[in-house]
Every structure is written in C-alpha cells, then in structure tokens.
Structure 1
Amino acid sequence: MSMTDLLHAEDIKKAVGAFTAAESFDHKKFFQMVGLKKKSPDDVKKVFHILDKDKSGFIEEEELGFILKGFLPDARDLTTKETKTLLAAGDKDGDGKIGADEFSTLVAES
C-alpha cells in the first residue's frame, strides 16, 4: 500500500511543498493540508504503518526525521529541532517513540 492509495497525490504535493524551508515544518498544518485529518481512524493507522519503515510498531526519532519522505520520496528531511518538536508532540508516554495510538492522537489534535 502506498500513500497515494490513502491520500490524494495533489494534496501530498501541496502539503510537502508548503514546508520546504528548514525550520518551517508544522505537523498540525501538514496533517490538515495532506488530508490526514479527514481520514478514518483505520486509514490514519494505515498511514502510520507506511511511515513505520522498520515495521517495529513505532516511529522512532530517526524515522521521524524522514517523515516527509514517507509522503513524497524527494521531500526534505526534517531538521533535528523539527524532529524533536514532533517527537515531543506525539510521544505521550515518554518512551522516546510514537506508537500507532499516539500517532492517531497526534493527527486528531491537529
């Protein structure tokens, strides 16, 4: 399954394009722009599993840095600061990674 099976390619392109500058990433705006906010809980979890590159059941800090590439392969990497901000927003239990339920909550709060 790919991102475009769940989200519109045009929405993905626009959302990724809106955050091309370093330190510009805003996960709340991004999730809204990409159309994730309007998706069912099942679809949000499917997106989570696409972003969980190592299939560990979690999106670790390193994977978070590449989150935009999960939506569009030629997107930029997040900066260390952006990655840490995203991790802090999503890691509700403080274990240093984001699980599927935490990801769903992160999207819902957007």
Structure 2
Amino acid sequence: MAMSSILNTDDIKKALDAFAVADSFDHKKFFEMVGLKSKSADDVKKVFTVLDADNSGFIEEEELKFVLKGFAKDGRDLTDKETKAFLKAADKDGDGKIGVDAVRL
C-alpha cells in the first residue's frame, strides 16, 4: 500500500520539504502537515503498517530512521539524534519500539 492512497501527495511533499534539513524533524508537526491528525484510526493504522517494514507489529529504531522514506522514496533518513528523540517520545512502555496502539497524534 502506498501512502498516496491514504494521504494527499501534495501534503506529503510539503511536509518532507519542511523537514529536509538534518535535525529539523518534529514528528508531531510532520504528522499534522501530512494530514494524519484528521484521519481515522483505521487510516492511522494503515500508515503504521506501511512504516512497519518488517511486519513485526512494531516500528523499531532501525525502521524509524527511514520513516520519511515510507512517505516518499526521496525522503531523507532521520539523523541518529532525531531517531532517538522520536523513539523516546513515542515508546510509551520503554521496550525500544513503537506499537500501533502507542501511536498518538
């Protein structure tokens, strides 16, 4: 499934452009810009499934680093600092990964 079947491609491009510079990523602003805040829980789960590259039911740190590529192939990799900050904010139970139930936009 492609993100463009869930989200508006123009919104995705604008969000990726807004965070194109290393160490500028803010996951809350990014998800708002791509339109996820206004999507249903089912659509959020679909996006999660696309980002969960190994289909484990979790987004692990290694997958998180490439999260922007999940929205568009030309998305940049997150820096280690961004990845760790994102994981810290989203890993509610401290197990080092993000479950779909932990996703709060």
Q: One fold, TM greater than 0.5?
A: yes
CA distance in 2, matches of 1:3, 1:48: 10
1:51 correspondence with 2:39: no
Aligned to 2:96: 96
Aligned to 1:6: 6
State the TM-score, normalized to the length of structure 2.
Answer: 0.98
- Give aligned pairs, total: 105
State the 1:79 CA deviation.
0.2
Percent pairwise identity = 68
Corresponding letter in the other structure for 1:101: D
The superposition leaves residues 37-90 of structure 1 with CA deviations (integer Å, 9 ceiling, x where unpaired) of: 110011000100000000000000000000000001111100000000000000
CA distance in 2, matches of 1:97, 1:47: 16
CA distance in 2, matches of 1:76, 1:60: 18
Corresponding letter in the other structure for 2:57: G
TM alignment of 1:11-22, pairs within 5 A: 11-22=11-22
CA distance in 1, matches of 2:56, 2:78: 21
Aligned to 2:27: 27
1:70 correspondence with 2:74: no
Paired residue secondary structure (1:59) = strand
State the 1:8 CA deviation.
0.4
Greater than 4 Å deviation, 4+ residue runs: none
CA distance in 1, matches of 2:18, 2:54: 27
State the 1:23 CA deviation.
0.4
Q: Root-mean-square deviation (CA), in Å?
A: 0.5
The superposition leaves residues 11-42 of structure 1 with CA deviations (integer Å, 9 ceiling, x where unpaired) of: 00000110010100001110000001110011
Unaligned runs of 5+ in 2: none
Unaligned runs of 5+ in 1: none
Aligned to 2:79: 79
